[in-house]
């Protein structure tokens, strides 16, 4: 499916931009840790500007990656719902909607992607108890990055926690990059299975 290259490309570029931002954040953390009184330290202006610009770039790339992921997921779902013997719990466009339902968005999208992964094989080749490890890894990294992002957000409101905030930002970048790379593997795995149909 040619549309699979769109989210894969967007996610790879997003991961690279996030790695650049990670390098800048590590530099900020290093400056804060070297300072004798870290809570009085002011990071260099160049690093702060670089971090702000990269944050803007990552935000824009994230928007492109999300849109391309949702389009790919809906089109892949639509394509394989036409297969005989597949069991489906949503409509092709319903897979997009579950991302925006509060609380359900923590579980339902993973289940739909696992369903997509499992049903993207011909019926005779479909194991009954197959667990999609790549989907589980992607989802775990995605949830971890979101939880760490919330922790970092809370830390920005606390006084004297610049080094903890910088460390949380580094961990967010690492988990987010891992989630983006795992998402590329999910798209590639599902697309490779669909190509065999």
pLDDT tens for residues 74-103?
Answer: 888 888 887 776 667 888 778 888 889 988
Q: Are residues 163 and 33 in contact, defined by beta-carbon separation less than 8 angstroms? A: yes
* pLDDT at residue number 123: 61
Q: What is the mean pLDDT of the chain?
A: 81
Q: Which residue has the higher pLDDT, 140 or 127?
A: 140
Own/partner contacts of 35-43, CB < 8 Å, gap of 24 or more, are 38/162, 38/163, 39/159, 39/160, 39/161, 39/162, 41/162
* pLDDT at residue number 95: 87
Within 8 A by CB and 6+ apart from 26, the residues are: 170
Dist CA 47 CA 26 (whole Å)? 10
Q: Are residues 17 and 54 in contact, defined by beta-carbon separation less than 8 angstroms? A: yes
| Residue 62 pLDDT greater than 80, yes or no | yes
Mean pLDDT of 178-189: 90
How much is the pTM? 0.80
């Amino acid at each position: 499916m040619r549309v699979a290259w769109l989210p894969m490309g967007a996610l790879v570029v997003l991961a690279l931009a996030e790695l650049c931002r990670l390098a800048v954040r590590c530099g900020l953390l290093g400056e804060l840790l070297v300072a004798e009184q870290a809570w009085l330290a002011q990071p260099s202006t160049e690093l702060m500007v670089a971090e702000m610009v990269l944050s803007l770039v990552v935000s824009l790339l994230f928007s492109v990656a999300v849109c391309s992921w949702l389009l790919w997921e809906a089109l892949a779902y639509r394509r394989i719902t036409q297969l005989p013997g597949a069991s489906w719990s949503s409509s092709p466009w319903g897979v997009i909607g579950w991302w925006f339902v509060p609380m359900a968005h923590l579980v339902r999208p993973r289940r739909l992607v696992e369903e997509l992964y499992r049903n993207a094989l011909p019926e005779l080749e479909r194991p009954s108890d197959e667990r999609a490890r790549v989907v589980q890894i992607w989802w775990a990294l995605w949830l971890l990055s979101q939880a760490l992002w919330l922790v970092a957000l809370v830390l920005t409101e606390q006084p004297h926690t610049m080094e903890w905030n910088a460390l949380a930002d580094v961990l967010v970048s690492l988990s987010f990059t891992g989630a983006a790379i795992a998402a590329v593997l999910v798209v590639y795995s599902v697309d490779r299975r669909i190509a065999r149909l």
